[in-house]
A and B are shown apart, each in its own frame.
Chain A
Amino acid sequence: MRARADLHIHTVLSPCGDLDMSPRNIVRAAREKGLDIIGIADHNCTRQAGVIQELGRENGLFVLAGAEVTTAEEAHCLAFFPTGEALERFQAFLDQHLPPIPNNPDKFGYQVAVNAEEEIVHEEPYLLISALDASIETVEQTVHGLGGIFIPAHIDKPAYSILSQLGFVPPDLTCDALEISPRSSRERITAEHPYLATYAFTTASDAHYVEDIGKVYTELLLPDFSFEAIRQALRQGIPSTSKI
């Protein structure tokens, strides 16, 4: 079957995520846009993903739970996990490596996690947009050690991308795919960086507002809706990408 995936969505938990990005609103918007799979990727924190996964399950939406990690080099990378246990262990890794710089909600925005009823159940004290004190290799190896999916995010962006921070994708870094932003395309990026032609690509909305969910998506050919099937489909060369 062909499935539509938008694997880069922020929630109310990200300081820059709109307060309307609640579990219910995200799941509803994803279904309305015809998405089958979404990825929840808040900055350096996984604590909103579980509720959305649960709500997705009740509403026929497959939800990958993870985070958008800021590595020590300030390269943003998506990480998703196959089980709740792996997700918890990765959260412990994030807690260990995020510098304890207090958030200032007036300047950066609120960092709250909510339940399905949109009641605040948790507030992250430390600024989530800081960089972890862990290298991109350490993050990649930790993610794969937990059976996760690792995708450098919006690699075409002039800041906070693996290409802007490191100049090129280190050849020994294992990437399940490379994400390109809605502003670029596989053709454009491989014309500029021919060595990337051997990588698999995905595109995603990087939505911070409800209306941006599913703005672009990646079409995956799947035998079934499972974490492993999604990983295999992502790795299988070149998914077709489309705009709604």
Chain B
Amino acid sequence: MKVQDLITRLGLTVHSGKEGLEREVTGGYTSDLLSDVMGHAKEGDAWVTLQTHKNIMAIASLKDLAAIIVVKGHVPEEDTTAESEKEGIPILTTREETFEITGRLYELLKSEQIV
């Protein structure tokens, strides 16, 4: 499943990093502790978080995550957005809360037998 498919199926908004919409999604991870994400997220995960600090991009890049989904209508900071464009890793946004979007992401990936 591509990032573009997530956007369509989950009704997400592309905030930045359009170049990466063809990246392959192979799992999901939900956490707001960046130390935890750094330690436990896996390559190809779509990461759900409410953090908007530019360190989220550094970690997405380090872990080679497929995309970041920022919840509750939070708007990523300018330098975060710039990093997303530079790295080609998409930041997607939703007005939904972490609980809802994580549930829907899980159901979607499960229905596609990805997780």
Chain A interface (Cβ < 8 Å from any Cβ of B): 73, 135-136, 158-159, 163-168, 170
Contact = CB atoms under 8 A, between A and B. Distances in A.
Nearest to A73: B53
A166 B55 contact: yes
B33 A168 contact: no
Given A165-B34, A167-B34, A135 B51 contact: no
B35 interface: yes
With most chain A CB atoms within 10 A of its CB, the pick from B32, B33, B58 is B33
Determine the main DSSP class of B at the interface with A.
helix
A135 B53 contact: yes
B53 A136 contact: yes
Given A73-B51, A136-B53, A167 B77 contact: no
A163 B35 contact: yes
B82 interface: no
A156 to B, nearest CB: 11
B76 to A, nearest CB: 11
Contacts of B51: 73, 165-166
Interface of B: 32-38, 51, 53-55, 58-59, 77
B54 A170 contact: yes
Contact of A164 (B35, B54, B58, B59): B35
A166 B77 contact: no
24 contacts: A135-B53, A135-B77, A159-B33, A164-B33, A164-B34, A164-B36, A165-B33, A165-B34, A165-B35, A165-B51, A166-B34, A166-B51, A166-B53, A167-B35, A167-B38, A167-B55, A167-B58, A167-B59, A168-B34, A168-B38, A168-B55, A168-B58, A170-B54, A170-B55
Nearest to B55: A166
Contacts of A73: 51, 53
Contacts of A167: 34-35, 37-38, 55, 58-59
Contacts of A168: 34, 38, 55, 58
Nearest to B77: A135
A-B pairs, 6 with minimum CB distance: A167-B34, A166-B55, A167-B38, A164-B35, A166-B34, A167-B35
A165 B34 CA distance: 5
Nearest to A138: B77
B31 to A, nearest CB: 11
Contacts of A165: 32-35, 51
Contacts of B59: 167
With most chain B CB atoms within 10 A of its CB, the pick from A136, A164, A165 is A165
A79 B53 CA distance: 20
A203 B54 CA distance: 28
A165 B53 CA distance: 10
Nearest to A166: B55
A244 B36 CA distance: 34
Contacts of A170: 53-55
Contacts of B58: 167-168
B107 to A, nearest CB: 29
Contacts of B38: 167-168
Contacts of B34: 164-168
Given A73-B51, A166-B34, A168-B55, 6 more contacts: A136-B53, A164-B34, A165-B33, A167-B37, A167-B59, A170-B54
A155 to B, nearest CB: 11
B113 to A, nearest CB: 31
